Structure 1
Amino acid sequence: MGVTLEDKLVVAVSSRALFDFEDENRVYEAEGEAAYVALQREREHVPAPPGVAMPLVRKLLAFNTEAGQRVEVVILSRNDPVSGLRMFHSAKAAGLAIERGVFTRGETPYKYLRPLKANLFLSASDDDVRAALEAGFPAARVFPNSRKEAESHPNEIRIAFDGDAVLFSDEAERVFKSDGLQAFTAHETERASKPLPPGPFAPLLAALHRLQTVAGQDVPLRIRTALVTARSAPAHERAIRTLMAWNITVDQAMFLGGLEKRDFLREFEPDFFFDDQTRHCVGAAEAVPTGHVPHGVANA
């Protein structure tokens, strides 16, 4: 029987999401590819600093034990193969058991998400993330300069999700954008018992739920999730009933009615937060690792 990733939670992560390559990226933007490749080659054995996704990746890999290999992390990068040497050296220096990587030298790598059967793609490239979302994969553009506060809960993986256009479809958000808050509230109240269609990150929430169930007591880590949404009562009911219909629970739900999400996220301290609106992401990135999900009417 051949090797397969079928039964694993697969996370594909770009080099700039996993490592802090902002200095190198500035060289690329100012001097071009050749200067960038030369710098990466010069620094081949210099471990790169951790990037915004590293704490999350480290915790996910902790689900791999002698009892079972449940998580696969793959570096999926526009870098050239020579620069890829530094990625693997840096991963090894960081104690990350990463064995697979795809390096495309400038070509968009999103098409390799399909054979990888990826459950999540994190990248600093907006174009690659949009292409991945259009292909049906949960994907987010990381904010490389997000505050990294992911070590506060060493025995938990904490992930926070926005609702509309992230966990759920943008059906209700379209009503809000076109007709305003009053129409949105009426729309959601009338349909409180009708589940919302799934959004791009619904499969990831389901995969995390399966991972926790399969791991059981073998792994001393708990996955803790939160819904952090601008919805408020009475529109909250449809969101909760949608999750109930999916037979998935979240540990916390915050219905903020338009309040700034940043301060609530600072208290929850997630390893990652996903939102479809740039303005929420910019604020959240001041407090926690953040990924923008360029999906739905807000990103048309």
Structure 2
Amino acid sequence: MAATLANQLVVAISSRALFDFEEENRVFEQSDDHAYMKLQLERLEQPAKPGVAHSLVKKLLAFNGDAKRVEVVILSRNDPVSGLRVFRSAQASKLKLERGVFTKGREPYKYLRPLQANLFLSANPADVRAALNEGFAAATVHTGAARASGSYPDEVRIAFDGDAVLFSDQAEQVYQRAGLEAFQSHEKRRAAKPLPPGPFKPLLQALHQLQQDGAAGMRIRTALVTARSAPAHERAIRTLMDWNIQVDEAMFLGGLAKGAFLREFEPDFFFDDQPGHVDSAAEHVPAGHVASGISNPG
């Protein structure tokens, strides 16, 4: 019987999102792929340091106990030779990774469909945008972001922006076209009407299911961290109720910088569509940019 990834939460991740390959990447950018491959091969026995998404991956894999609930697959523009170091580094970090696709510079996003991926994390903005266009939850990892704290070893903590991430950018379009007052009025009138889903709704559902399935000693804690404020908060909450999904914390910040609040929540990862919010968050926590909606034209 062929192996299957059905009924698992599948995360596809690039090597630079999982490990700190920034020095090696500079060699690639300043020289060529041959110099990069040579350097990676020279460092084969030198495990790479954890990257921005390392904590998220490590904790998600901890849900695999008596049953396989999570699959993490390396999906990388690296060449297969450089892939050797990725797997060696995973082994050194005690990350049980079994699958990888290495495309040697070609776009990797087409492999998300056969992988049935729930999430794609990459340091390449073009690959992320292509994945989002194909309907996958995807984010560009801020490679300079702070690493996750070790405060909650038994809890996967993930924070999401609302509009253009969990929800569609329908309301954000009103805000950018007509301003805050029109936005508040628009959302107040439609408080009982659920927002259309955004690109990360399926991931939130998958996390909810993973929480329901459970694993000994592991939990998931989620937070909605949004620039919305009252009265526009109600539609966001009612939308989640309509989806039959709960978040553990909700922060309606009314335009305040999100970084300080995320510092207190201490997520393993934060997703936002606004580059400024990602930069603010990255000073304190792992963060990624979701290039969707009206704030990310093109």
Partner secondary structure for residue 263 of structure 2? helix
Quote the Cα distance in structure 2 between the aligned partners of 1:133 and 1:60. Answer: 22
**TM-score (normalizing by structure 2):** 0.99
**TM-score (normalizing by structure 1):** 0.98
Quote the Cα distance in structure 2 between the aligned partners of 1:214 and 1:223. Answer: 11
AA of the residue aligned to 1:53:
A
How large is the RMSD of aligned CA atoms in angstroms?
0.6
> Equivalent residue for 2:98?
99
Quote the Cα distance in structure 2 between the aligned partners of 1:220 and 1:145. Answer: 31
Deviation string 1:69-98 (CA, Å, 9 cap, x unpaired) is 100000000000000000011100110000
Quote the Cα distance in structure 2 between the aligned partners of 1:128 and 1:174. Answer: 25
AA of the residue aligned to 1:152:
S
Partner secondary structure for residue 295 of structure 2? helix
1:264 lines up with 2:235 in the alignment: no
> Equivalent residue for 2:35?
35
AA of the residue aligned to 2:174:
V
Deviation string 1:133-177 (CA, Å, 9 cap, x unpaired) is 000000000011110123111111100000000000000000001
Q: Which residues in structure 2 correspond to 1:196-275 (within 5 Å)?
A: 196-215=195-214, 218-275=215-272
Partner secondary structure for residue 16 of structure 2? helix
1:63 lines up with 2:63 in the alignment: yes
- Native 8 Å contact 1:163 1:229 kept in 2: yes
> Equivalent residue for 1:7?
7
Shift of residue 233, structure 1, vs aligned partner: 0.2
1:292 lines up with 2:271 in the alignment: no
Deviation string 1:196-249 (CA, Å, 9 cap, x unpaired) is 00000000000000001012xx42111000000000000000000000000000
AA of the residue aligned to 2:88:
H
Quote the Cα distance in structure 1 between the aligned partners of 2:250 and 2:211. Answer: 19
Unaligned regions of 5+ residues in structure 2, if any? Answer: none
> Equivalent residue for 2:181?
182
> Equivalent residue for 1:49?
49
Unaligned regions of 5+ residues in structure 1, if any? Answer: none
AA of the residue aligned to 1:239:
A
Quote the Cα distance in structure 1 between the aligned partners of 2:148 and 2:54. Answer: 11
Deviation string 1:243-279 (CA, Å, 9 cap, x unpaired) is 0000000000000000010000000000000000000
Quote the Cα distance in structure 1 between the aligned partners of 2:199 and 2:153. Answer: 28
AA of the residue aligned to 2:94:
G
Quote the Cα distance in structure 2 between the aligned partners of 1:279 and 1:186. Answer: 25
> Equivalent residue for 1:169?
168
Partner secondary structure for residue 203 of structure 2? helix
1:76 lines up with 2:83 in the alignment: no
- Native 8 Å contact 1:56 1:150 kept in 2: no
Shift of residue 23, structure 1, vs aligned partner: 0.3
AA of the residue aligned to 2:62:
A
Quote the Cα distance in structure 1 between the aligned partners of 2:50 and 2:41. Answer: 19
Query: When the two structures are aligned, how many residues end up with a matched partner?
Result: 297
> Equivalent residue for 1:279?
276
Deviation string 1:181-203 (CA, Å, 9 cap, x unpaired) is 01101110000000000000000
AA of the residue aligned to 2:291:
P
Shift of residue 296, structure 1, vs aligned partner: 0.2
AA of the residue aligned to 1:32:
D
AA of the residue aligned to 1:261:
K
Partner secondary structure for residue 267 of structure 2? coil
Quote the Cα distance in structure 1 between the aligned partners of 2:45 and 2:116. Answer: 31
